[in-house]
Amino acid sequence: MVVISQAGKSSSSNPAENEIVTYDFPYVSRSEWGARAAVETLQLRTPVPYVVIHHSYSPEACYNRDDCIKAMKSMQNFHIDDRHWWDIGYHFGVGSDGVAYEGRGWSILGAHALHFNNISIGICVIGDWTNSTPPAEQIKTVKSLITAGVELGYIQPNYKLVGHRQVRETACPGQTFFEAIKSWDHWSAFPASNEDLVNVPELSEDFRKEYNKTLKSI
């Protein structure tokens, strides 16, 4: 059982304190997995209308705390040192151990889905799910995490859930897993691909106009 505050941190504070909510899924904060300090941060305007589901592809699936912490550190190091991003790109990672690991957390702008970062929470389901689906406990925690985000006010109650491939040219979150998430609550068939971004009303009109010009020039 974990206590999550509005800042998205695990906490030992008095549960009677304002805006402290208890959930029944395992949760590891940034400090607990030894995250590096972010180079810089920007606030995410919440509640967001979308949740984007990813897989890591590499690192591979992790089934215990030590291996999942190594996976989180590997992704953060790659994103900062090789991609030159400010931090790990995802808001959260979820391991096959059924644990949610805090990435950027609820309120910090992510770097997980180009063009979609301003309107979404990105959750990385650690592992390569091209030819298989994640274990039941891993999926259960992903869904519980989303529910927590809604109840804490970071995700809109009528949110839309999409796979990364629906907003970017990518195989993520893996073919087999992508087919599975189509049965999840709130999954949206639109946008179907990055070409649909010009018609996503939550994105700014200026962006959609410029993006439409880009598509027409290809």
Pick the CATH number of 25-217 from 3.40.80.10, 3.40.50.2300, 3.40.30.10, 3.40.1160.10: 3.40.80.10
Extents of the domains making up the chain: 25-217
Residue 91: name the closest of 115, 69, 71, 117 by CA.
Answer: 117
The pLDDT of residue 176: 98
Residue 66 has pLDDT above 90, yes or no: yes
Peptide bond into 134 cis (omega under 30): no
Residue 16 has pLDDT above 80, yes or no: no
Lowest mean pLDDT among 20-29, 71-80, 142-151: 20-29
Lowest mean pLDDT among 21-25, 111-115, 160-164, 199-203: 21-25
Give yes or no for a contact between 97 and 110, defined as CB atoms under 8 angstroms apart.
no
pLDDT tens for each residue of 120-168: 999 999 999 999 999 999 999 999 999 999 999 999 999 999 999 999 9
Structure tokens at 100: 């949610």
Lowest mean pLDDT among 27-36, 100-109, 158-167, 200-209: 200-209
